[in-house]
Every structure is written in C-alpha cells, then in structure tokens.
Amino acid sequence: MEEKIAKIKKWLGTGSINIFGLPMSGKDTQGVKLAEAVGAKFLSSGMIIRAMEKEGQKNYSKTGELIPTNVFYEWVLPYFERADLFKYSLILSSIGRWHGEEKQVMSVATGAGHDIKAVVALSISENEAKNRFNEAKVLNDRGDRDDDKDLDVFETRLKEYREKTLPVLQYYKALGLLIEVNGSQTREEVFNEIVEKLFEKASQSDA
C-alpha cells in the first residue's frame, strides 16, 4: 500500500483529484483520508459554501438545490489560486457539480498549477443514499446542516445530482479522467479501491 501511495503522490505532483458521488456516498470521508495519505490539501465545495453561508450571505443549502453557477465561481474557484495551497496537490470534493461548470473548473485548476489528473465517482444507489441519510438522522452525526434537515430536501439533492451532476461525470469520462469506485463497500474497502485504481492510472502515465 505504501509503495502505491508513493507512486500516486509522485504522479499527482501539485495536481488535483476531484471526488464525486451521491449525497451520503462518503466523498468527504474518503477525500480527507486520501489527502492525508498523499500529503495533499482537502477542499470541499459543500464545506466552502456552508462557511460562506454562515458568514451571513444567502442561504442556498436549505432548499437542497445547487448554488447558482455565478455564485460557485465567486465563492469556490478562488481557492485554487490561494498562495498557501500553491505547493500542494489538492483532493477536491465535488468541485463543479453543475454541468457546464466543469470546463471552467479545469481551466482555473490548470492555470493555478493544480491540473485535474483524475475524477473519482463513488457509486451507490439512491435507495442506499436514503438509508444512510435515515441512519445519520438517528445517530445525529451530520451536525446542524440545512441540507440535511428533512427527507424532502434530501430528495431534492438526489434529483439535482441525477439531472445536473451525472452529465459532469460523462464529460470527465469522455476525457479519460473518470474512475468509478463501488461506494457500497466498507470505508476501508472503498479507500483501498480508490488507491488501487489511482495507482493503475499513475502507472499508465509511465507507459
């Protein structure tokens, strides 16, 4: 495992890996773990948006809908160019979730020296996502998040992913960047599959 992670780290350089998946698929959990493994910085669009909302700007999360593209560009994209991230690789959680944003994301990332080297899609069913949502509500382990208030809002988030984010993944797939991972496994198994498939991609770059 250590050799494979070292290979991924060398291949990644100061580039970035973008992780997508349905709500409750484990994007942030796996993203943080991967960032720690390869010595990268972790950026989550959801965390950035919620932080901006907390500062008193408009609350988009309460509806479950994606934030408007112009707000996404204003709030999230500047993080790529932050001086304190310049020398690091980046592990991204759903940066550019609305189809049409992906080209701008790639352009800004490349311009900042954080080329997107791979896109990981954590695959779980919508039924499993709902089951995980219900379990999280019982455990109360998601904090006081507006987008996790009730099932109706969560259903909207699933619909947004289906209609707006799946086409983003098709775009990355056409570019040969997409890596699909079975998100229904244990957290450890999901992480191991991510590492295995990123290692394969890194190895292909040597060919």
Task: Show the 3-state SS of the chain.
Answer: CHHHHHHHHHHHCCCEEEEEECCCCCHHHHHHHHHHHHCCEEEEHHHHHHHHHHCCCCCCHHHCCCCCHHHHHHHCHHHHHCHHHCCCCEEEECCCCCCCCHHHHHHHHHHCCCCEEEEEEEECCHHHHHHHHHHHHHHCCCCCCHHHCCHHHHHHHHHHHHHHHHHHHHHHHHCCCEEEEECCCCHHHHHHHHHHHHHHHHHHCCC
Query: Quick one: average pLDDT of 180-201?
Result: 97
Q: Provide the CATH number for the domain formed by 2-204 in this structure.
A: 3.40.50.300
**Across residues 177-194, what is the average pLDDT?**
97
Q: Which residue has the tokens 């009730």?
A: 150
Is the Cα dihedral 28, 142, 184, 124 positive or negative? Answer: negative
What distances in angstroms separate CA 159 from CA 20, 65, 100, 124, 192, one per listed residue?
Answer: 15, 9, 17, 14, 29
Residue 63: predicted pLDDT = 87
Spans of all domains in the chain: 2-204
> Considering the chain, what percentage of its residues have pLDDT values greater than 70?
93
> Average pLDDT, stretch 39-54?
92
**Tokens read off for 203:** 């190895």
Assigned token pair, 65: 């809908």
Please give the average per-residue pLDDT across 121-128, as a whole number.
Answer: 97
Q: What pLDDT sits at residue 207? A: 54
**Confidence band of 41 (pLDDT split at 50, 70, 90):** very high
- When pLDDT is averaged across residues 54-83 and rounded to a whole number, the result is 89
Residue-wise pLDDT for 142-165, tens only, equals: 555 555 668 889 999 999 999 999
Predicted pLDDT of residue 74: 93
Mean pLDDT of 181-204: 97
- What per-residue confidence (pLDDT) applies to 142? 55
